[in-house]
């Protein structure tokens, strides 16, 4: 669990949400992954 409402996850899945880096980091951590942001 990442401590957020299901509605926030739903908006993210439906491409109707601009999540913060903090939120994305929580999701990555919950999935056992590392958040990596690249600019090319």
Domain locations in the chain as residue ranges: 1-40
- The whole-number pLDDT of residue 34 equals 97
- 19 and 12 in contact (C-beta within 8 Å)? yes
Per-residue model confidence (pLDDT) at position 35? 97
pTM score, whole prediction: 0.66
pLDDT at res. 28: 93
Please say whether the beta carbons of 6 and 31 come within 8 A: no
Q: What is the pLDDT of residue 12?
A: 79
Residue 36's pLDDT is what? 97
pLDDT tens, 22-35?
989 998 999 999 99
* Residues 8, 28: Cα–Cα separation, whole Å: 15
């Amino acid at each position: 669990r990442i401590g957020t409402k299901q509605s926030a996850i739903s908006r993210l899945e439906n491409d109707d949400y601009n999540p913060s880096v903090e939120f994305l980091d929580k999701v990555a951590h919950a999935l056992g992954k590392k958040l990596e942001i690249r600019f090319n």
